[in-house]
Amino acid sequence: MRAREFVMMDAYSFDANDEASVKSYFAMKTAYEKFFQRVGVTAIAVEADTGVMGGSYSHEFMVPAEIGDDDVIYCEASGYAANREKATSALVPKDLADAAPAGAVEKFATPGVVTIAALEAAPYSVPADRQYKTLVFIGDGKPFLVILRGSDELEEAKLGSLGFGLTRPATPEEIEPVMGAKPGSLGAVKGTLKQPDALAGIFADQAIRLIGNGVTGANEDGFHVRNVNVTRDLAITRFGDFRRVRPGEPCPKSGQPLQSRRGIEVGHIFKLGTKYSEKFNAVYTDDQKQSHPMVMGCYGIGISRTLQAVIEQSHDADGIVWPWHAAPFQVLICVLDPQLPEAMDLAKKLAAAAEQAGAEVLVDDRAERPGVKFKDADLIGIPLRLTIGGKGLKEGIIELKWRAQKDVAKVPLAEAEARIAAAVQEAAAKA
């Protein structure tokens, strides 16, 4: 969800050591959770990638919504939740034994085959989850390889775990001199790379261990190799988690199927450590007169986006249904006959009673038809509407209606001020 205006509230913590910084971080996380609860929006704290901010770890606050621009991977059974860029699964068992070689590496011709799908088709018929996908990236000016299963997609944000300051996909012109072939025929089998010493490393996703023995490019255009064993044939610098998690995979905590839904990011907090305090020489002196960098945390709430998320979660066919504490006004007084002095006098008394009880009040004294006023009231979505009309005054009543309910209560004039004050106090206590 995007808007032309983006209002952000930022906060920072500075602590003497990591232990204190962790306490500050989780105290702020709890405060943010209470804030979102108070304004009436359901926000889930999910594990998140630190991105360009860096730091040890971070959490995003995500509001479930189909119009959201992020994916949340979660498990109801365990409470696990992470954004797509950070999510992991238990797809690869911790006790998985590496497969023994199934035969000698064998090169075979694959003219014109340059995609996973083409190798899946006849006459080759190699399933995607039996293929090794080799991707070439540039990290801080030097090429490196990432190996995935053919059935998996790279989650590029996870490459941040490799420690490069800047990464990008390599161009075909950069790939061929190092690999010896064009994209579509690439692999990482020992002895097949043209310039292996030019690589900053070969990094493999843990899930390729599920293949055991599979098929990959021969680093020769128009050729692939089969019987490629993970342990015997691939010169892997390091295993890691680089793939995009899919719904249905087992939760890393409970083993139950993971689910996915869209979400709106309304807040993001980071445990920054000393990354920035060291750069800016932000230090403190301890009781031994020794200088140390401050341990930092960073905490942000998207104020304008939170309001948008509240509306997305709290509305109906007629308009907004504001939660009590997020509403611009809590009480709307509709005066249907503003030309009557007694109607306006009563509106002032009821407004004063509501304000004294703690509510912000808006009085609609426009010279408009009742239908227009009621329609506008529903559209704006103020939680409590009071209606004063000439007919009601003759009957000795006003009308009281909650925006989220259909029923209209008729309140005797003698009880009106007390009833309104009590309604305001009760709503504030429940919100």
CATH dotted code for 106-240: 3.90.960.10
What's the pLDDT tens digit per position in 251-306? Answer: 999 999 999 999 989 999 999 999 899 999 999 999 999 999 999 999 999 998 89
The architecture that CATH gives domain 8-88+247-313 is 2-Layer Sandwich (3.30)
Q: Is 128 exposed, middle or buried (0-12, 13-18, 19+ CB in 10 A)?
A: middle
DSSP 172-194: HHHHHHHHSS-TTS---BTT--S
CA atoms lying within 13 Å on the CB side of residue 58? 25
The class (CATH top level) of 320-430 is alpha beta
For all residues of the chain together, what is the average pLDDT?
Answer: 94
* Displacement of CA 243 from its chain's centroid (Å): 18
Q: Give me the residue spans of the domains in the chain.
A: 8-88+247-313, 106-240, 320-430
State residue 48's pLDDT score.
85
pLDDT at residue 1 is higher than 60: no
Give just the sign of the alpha carbon dihedral 302, 307, 308, 313: positive
Beta strands 213-217 and 223-229, pairing class: antiparallel
| Pick from 151, 127, 260, 253: nearest CA to 205 | 151
Contacts within 8 Å (CB) and 24+ apart, 157-160: 157/49, 157/51, 157/85, 157/86, 158/49, 158/85, 158/86, 158/240, 158/241, 158/242, 158/243, 159/242, 160/49, 160/50, 160/51
Percent of the chain with pLDDT over 90: 87
Give just the sign of the alpha carbon dihedral 75, 80, 84, 88: negative
State residue 366's pLDDT score.
95
425 versus 308: which is more confidently predicted? 425
Given strand 213-217, what is the order of strands in its sheet?
Answer: 106-109, 223-229, 213-217
